[in-house]
Amino acid sequence: MYVYKTEIMQASFKLFSDKADENDLMRLDKLVNDRYAEGWELVTYDYMATSTQFKGAFIITFRKEQA
C-alpha cells in the first residue's frame, strides 16, 4: 500500500507570460531529487498556468510505500 503526498510549487513571477522557464525547471528538479532522497517516488506533475499570465504553479504528486 502507498501513501501519497501532493505539493504545489509556485513558478517564478513573469510579466505577460505564464510559461515555466529554466529557473523553474531547476527548482522542480531539485524538489523531485530532494523528495526522492526522502524515499518519495514521483507519480505525476502538471504545470498550471493562470489566466492573469503572471504566475503559474506546478502540482506534483509523490508516493512511497506505507511502513
Q: Which tens digit of pLDDT belongs to each residue from 4-51?
A: 999 999 887 665 555 667 888 899 899 999 999 999 999 999 988 766
Cell of 44: 505525476
Confidence of residue 52 (pLDDT cuts 50, 70, 90): low
CA 63 from chain center: how many Å?
Answer: 14
Q: Rounded to whole angstroms, how far apart are CA atoms 44 and 36?
A: 13
**Partners of 15 in beta bridges:** none
Whether the per-residue pLDDT at 64 is higher than 90: the answer is yes
Q: What pLDDT, on the 0 to 100 scale, is given for residue 25?
A: 86
Q: What pLDDT, on the 0 to 100 scale, is given for residue 47?
A: 83
Q: What are phi and psi of 25, to 5 degrees?
A: -65, -35
Cell of 31: 524538489
Radius of gyration of the chain (CA): 13
Residue type, 61: T
Whether the per-residue pLDDT at 60 is higher than 70: the answer is yes
